[in-house]
Amino acid sequence: MSAKVLEYFPAGAPRGSWPAEEFAAQRRAEGEAATVVMDLERDAFLVVVPAAEDE
């Protein structure tokens, strides 16, 4: 399965702040199947959606 990255957020957000989760929730409210994954090499959270077949 391949995925398209919509946005990435540094992992060092202030305690109690979840900007990647909030962004993904907004995309889900718009009908996109957005999820949050951790990119250990970049130390960031990525908001991804499944890639279209033709991409």
Question: Residue 30 CA to chain centroid, in angstroms?
Answer: 14
Q: Which of these, 37, 2, 42, 1, lies nearest to 21 by C-alpha position? A: 37
Percent pLDDT > 70 in the chain is: 93
Domain coordinates in residue numbering, the chain: 3-50
Q: Mind listing the pLDDT tens digit for each residue in 6-27?
A: 999 999 878 878 999 999 999 9
More reliable by pLDDT, 15 or 29: 29
More reliable by pLDDT, 12 or 1: 12
- Is the pTM for the entire model greater than 0.75? yes
pLDDT interval class at 50 (50, 70, 90):
very high
